[in-house]
Amino acid sequence: DTGVSQDPRHKITKRGQNVTFRCDPISEHNRLYWYRQTLGQGPEFLTYFQNEAQLEKSRLLSDRFSAERPKGSFSTLEIQRTEQGDSAMYLCASSWGGDQPQHFGDGTRLSIL
Amino acid sequence: AQSVTQLDSHVSVSEGTPVLLRCNYSSSYSPSLFWYVQHPNKGLQLLLKYTSAATLVKGINGFEAEFKKSETSFHLTKPSAHMSDAAEYFCVLNFNKFYFGSGTKLNVKP
């Protein structure tokens, strides 16, 4: 169990650019979650996958956001045409089933210039 | 509707004194509740979980929490704070997905 890993840890980009983050969950976990956390707030749910199927998306996930988990293993979160308001920590978590604790990665901190 | 309220945004204690972090929840169903801790620039680490087996739940690092259905509370306690406990703590309700409280920052004074 190597834990959940996220890459990159930090991303600085200019407004309007596209960015992509990667999450590698714990290998035997079938569920993978994405959250966004802004300063002084708790994480907010964005979306989750069970295996390769994306089962739920939050209203926070605008059309500029897309997530994939093509083979039910790693996942990517892409943000197109980034805006200042996208600056946040993006957290990934995984679990075995929906009623088990989620294991979190250390996050990707996105800064928009 | 599911929701979690953490009653204190900041708590400050002296090293060696007890810690109490308060959490109330709202759920239409029997809740599954967790406490997580987050150190700066890190992900969240599970402290403990309640899944209806016992109302008093023991976690890591000497933390425990008591589920009180009548009060819809799940407060986190520790008998004696350590400097390394300084972090942000999140109470979480699990109902198909995680509902996070807004967090309590714990400061531990020497």
Evaluated on CA atoms A26, A67, A98, A55, the torsion sign reads negative
- Chain A residues within 8 A (CB-CB) of chain B? 4, 33, 35, 40-45, 48, 56, 91, 93, 98-99, 101-107, 109
The pLDDT-based confidence of B79 (bands split at 50, 70, 90) is very high
User: What is the full DSSP assignment across B5-52?
Assistant: EES-SEEEEETTS-EEE-EEEE-SS--EEEEEEE-TTS-EEEEEEE-S
Q: Which of B41, B43, B101 sits opposite A42 (nearest CB)?
A: B101
For residue B94, the chain A residues in CB contact (below 8 A) are: 98-99
Structure tokens at A101: 């604790």
In the numeric block, the tokens 């002084």 are attached to A40
Q: Return the biggest CA–CA distance within chain B.
A: 42
pLDDT at B31: 82
Q: Which of A33, A48, A106 sits opposite B42 (nearest CB)?
A: A106
Report residues of chain A scoring pLDDT below 70.
Answer: 1
Closest residue on chain A to B95 (Cα): A99
pLDDT at A39: 86
For residue A40, the chain B residues in CB contact (below 8 A) are: 103
For residue A93, the chain B residues in CB contact (below 8 A) are: 43-44, 98
pLDDT at A100: 87
For residue A102, the chain B residues in CB contact (below 8 A) are: 98
Beta carbons within 10 angstroms of residue B25's beta carbon: 20
Cross-chain residue pair A104–B103, CB shorter than 8 Å: no
Give the 3-state secondary structure of residue A113.
coil
pLDDT at A67: 96
% of chain B residues with pLDDT over 70: 100
pLDDT per residue as tens digits for the range B38-78:
998 788 999 999 987 788 999 999 999 999 999 999 999 99
Cross-chain residue pair B46–A103, CB shorter than 8 Å: yes
Give the integer Cα–Cα distance in Å for A28 and A69: 14
CA atoms within 13 A on the CB side of A99: 6
Give the integer Cα–Cα distance in Å for A16 and B30: 44
For residue A109, the chain B residues in CB contact (below 8 A) are: 41
pLDDT at B41: 78
Calculate the CA A12 to chain-centre distance. Answer: 16
- Chain B residues within 8 A (CB-CB) of chain A? 32, 34, 36, 41-46, 49, 51, 90, 94, 96-103
User: Taking a C-beta distance cutoff of 8 angstroms, is the pair B59, B78 a contact?
Assistant: no
% of chain B residues with pLDDT over 90: 80
pLDDT at B13: 98
Instruction: Tell me which amino acid residue B9 is.
Output: S
pLDDT at A1: 54
User: Taking a C-beta distance cutoff of 8 angstroms, is the pair B2, B59 a contact?
Assistant: no
Give the integer Cα–Cα distance in Å for B36 and A101: 10
